């Protein structure tokens, strides 16, 4: 599958981020199994850490609107100082745990596409990123 469409959506989402404190804009695109793409971006707040990362914004919205539709892939891009980052960025631990629980709940792997100007990483399952995780189920 060509992931260029969701990479472009993740890149576009960086421009909608609210990041006046870090000036580090992150965009995320979630591809659902029905072909719908949901975008999200980081939303900061002066009362740190009450903001939210792009990945959780997008996944939570996707599951609230399409609760019975599996997530197929997630693309992430970051923008800082007028350019997309040269190297791909990875989700934080809280986002990885959220993404892993999405993957576990739907019982199918979620591909993770991490965009960077120099290269893009494609990871076949969130589990590969978080081998040691909270598991209360």
Tell me the domain boundaries of the chain.
4-128
Q: What are phi and psi of 115, to 5 degrees?
A: -90, 135
Specify the pLDDT at position 136.
Answer: 57
Catalytic member of 55, 101, 103, 107: 55
Whether 55 is catalytic: yes
Nearest Cα residue to 69 out of 113, 94, 98, 37: 37
Task: Report the distance separating Cα 28 and Cα 10, nearest Å.
Answer: 4
Specify the pLDDT at position 1.
Answer: 60
**Peptide bond before residue 49 is cis, with ω within 30 degrees of 0:** yes
CATH architecture of 4-128: 3-Layer(aba) Sandwich (3.40)
Task: Report the distance separating Cα 43 and Cα 40, nearest Å.
Answer: 9
Task: Report the distance separating Cα 92 and Cα 2, nearest Å.
Answer: 25
Regions of the chain short of the pLDDT cut 70: 1, 133-137
């Amino acid at each position: 599958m060509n992931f260029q469409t969701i990479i472009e959506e993740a890149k576009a989402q960086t421009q909608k981020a609210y990041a006046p404190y870090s000036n580090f804009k992150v965009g995320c695109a979630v591809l659902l199994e029905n072909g719908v793409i949901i975008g999200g971006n980081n939303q900061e707040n002066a009362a740190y850490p009450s903001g939210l990362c792009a990945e959780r914004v997008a996944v939570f919205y996707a599951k609230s609107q399409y609760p019975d539709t599996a997530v197929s892939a997630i693309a992430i891009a970051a923008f800082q100082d007028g350019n997309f980052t040269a190297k791909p960025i990875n989700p934080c631990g809280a986002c990885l745990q959220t993404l892993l629980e999405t993957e576990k709940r739907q019982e199918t792997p979620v591909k993770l596409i991490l965009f960077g100007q120099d290269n893009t990483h494609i990871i076949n399952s969130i589990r590969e990123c978080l081998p040691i995780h909270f598991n209360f189920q």
